[in-house]
């Protein structure tokens, strides 16, 4: 049975990826620093970095043939709902690739919702009890859930867990995590989505 928020059309009214990039740019260009709290200033800095990273990935990345073929075999419309926030580093490392995947199929509608404005939806998709993002949920036209993914590739999640258990501080963990993303270049994400899509066939 479709969830209430789907029946209300909230995922359908989310931002497309281009609009999300515009929103990201607005959040760091148009908001003046003196008006921000220290936490907001830090998030503004992350958002600007994430925006530049997103543009670079979009410019240089090409979807590999096998994944592209799997995407093009999707025969029925799907809505890919992503919950995220512009300051989220994992999102900047994954969402640009996901947006490229969506462009490969006329049957995929990618829609992005801001987590903090949709906590009632987020709370239905917790990861180990936390509101971890990005979180993607794919639905068919009737609102049935097809699959979900997030908040990061499994290999990256294992790295994060291992370093946390080793007692590293969060900034050090994030530095190692982003080094992993840089070296992996979306390969783990490709394999995970290929597995999800081929599992639907």
Domain residue ranges of the chain, discontinuous segments joined by +: 4-152
CATH fourth-level superfamily of 4-152: Glutaredoxin (3.40.30.10)
Distance CA 158, CA 194 (A): 20
CA distance 51 to 124: 28
Is residue 139 within 8 Å of 107, Cβ to Cβ? no
Q: Which residues contact 137 (CB under 8 A, 6 or more apart)?
A: 80, 81, 125, 145, 147, 148
Tell me the backbone φ, ψ of residue 110, rounded to 5 degrees. Answer: -90, 125
**Whole-number Å distance between alpha carbons of 79 and 106:** 11
List per-residue pLDDT tens for the chain, 201 residues long.
Answer: 789 999 999 999 999 999 999 999 998 887 777 777 888 888 999 999 999 999 999 999 999 999 999 999 999 999 999 999 999 999 999 999 999 999 999 999 999 999 999 999 999 999 999 999 999 999 999 999 999 999 999 999 999 999 999 998 988 999 999 999 999 999 999 999 999 999 997
Residue with tokens 């590293």: 168
């Amino acid at each position: 049975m479709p969830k209430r928020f789907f029946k209300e059309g909230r995922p359908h009214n989310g931002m497309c990826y281009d609009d999300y990039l515009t929103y990201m740019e607005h959040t760091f260009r148009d908001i003046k620093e003196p008006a921000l709290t220290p936490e907001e200033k830090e998030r503004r800095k992350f958002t600007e970095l994430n925006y530049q990273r997103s543009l670079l990935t979009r410019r240089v990345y090409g979807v590999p043939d096998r994944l592209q073929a799997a995407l093009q075999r999707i025969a029925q419309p799907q809505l890919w709902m992503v919950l995220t926030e512009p300051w989220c580093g994992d999102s900047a490392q994954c969402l640009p690739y996901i947006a490229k995947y969506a462009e490969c199929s006329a049957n995929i509608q990618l829609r992005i919702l801001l987590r903090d404005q949709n906590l009632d939806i987020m709370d239905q998709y917790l990861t180990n009890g936390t509101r971890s993002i990005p979180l993607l949920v794919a639905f068919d036209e009737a609102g049935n859930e097809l699959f979900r993914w997030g908040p990061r590739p499994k290999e990256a999640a294992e790295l994060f867990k291992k370093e946390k258990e080793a007692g590293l501080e969060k900034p050090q963990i994030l530095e190692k995590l982003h080094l992993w993303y840089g070296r992996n270049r979306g390969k783990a994400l490709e394999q995970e989505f290929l597995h999800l899509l081929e599992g639907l066939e």
